[in-house]
Amino acid sequence: MNNSYVVSLLSQAATEVSFFGAKTANLAKAVQSGFAVPDGLAVSRLCTKSEFDSIAQKIIDNLSPPIAVRSSAVKEDSVDKAFAGVFETYLGIRTVTDLMDTFLMVKNSGATDLVKKYHGDVIQSEQIAVLIQRMVDATRAGVAFSCDPVTGESKVIIESSYGLGKSVVDGNVTPDSIDYFNDGTYKTFIGRKSIQIMLTDSGTNEQNTPAIDSVKCSLTEKEIKEIAELARQVESKLGFKADIEWAIDPDGVLWLLQARPITTIIN
């Protein structure tokens, strides 16, 4: 797009943490390293509401809804603090009006009590960049760690459930958990995946998971190995022990949605 405040994730400029935040920078590096990441646009922390509103229609046209509007604060997803779930994210956005509204809500989400409790102070809107991406209509989604996030043990840990990854990230379900070891073997712990969050024409909708699906593993052996390899490749190419979000679309394609350093390893 022909606007200095909005750049493609394919642009080298999107890797500038000081303007676009670490979340965006990490994904831009992932895209440029060849990972399958949904198309996205990085909006600089310096972009004002009026400037954004003037190009919102072009953003909608460029990405083709539904889209996700996500925070990418300068201090977010750093090696020191993840800020996971602290700022706002909006899913299933389809209209220009909703895009303009959610942009402002994300920008202003640094002034909540949750941010104050986590960070010790508010974070001004000028320090929050915004990441806008085409959404994956996920059949399964979740998170994965390239090593044990508590002990640092060399195994991949995968958490998975049906539908969008929001149910896993927000703690709305007990996901399946898989420990994947270096020799290619793995151990599966079946979770209670009672609900799933799905994309709809008007946003997202929470649905009950069929009983037959809730009591079996949400991933095949092939998918488990593919996700484990993705986590390891992210660690190798981006240069940090990786905490990733992933999704599998209806065609079986695995997508990388987020990559950040693990911050909880005991030294």
Q: For each of the domains in the chain, give its residue range(s) and CATH number, in order of start.
A: 6-134 (3.30.1490.20), 140-261 (3.30.470.20)
Say what angle helices 17-32 and 221-238 make with each other, to 10 degrees: 130
Q: pTM of the predicted model, to two decimals?
A: 0.91
31 has pLDDT over 70: yes
- What mean pLDDT do residues 89-103 have? 95
Q: Give me 19's structure tokens.
A: 């303007």
pLDDT of residue 109: 81
Provide the pLDDT for residue 266.
56
What is the per-residue pLDDT for 263? Answer: 82
d(CA 176, CA 265): 22
Residue 260 CA: distances (Å) to CA of 168, 181, 210, 246, 250: 17, 21, 33, 12, 26
State residue 256's pLDDT score: 98
Q: Is the pLDDT of residue 138 over 50?
A: yes
Return the structure tokens found at 116: 């104050």
Instruction: Please compute the mean of the pLDDT values over residues 92-119 and round it to a whole number.
Output: 80
99-113, 129-143, 183-197: least confidently modelled range? 99-113
pLDDT at 78 over 70: no
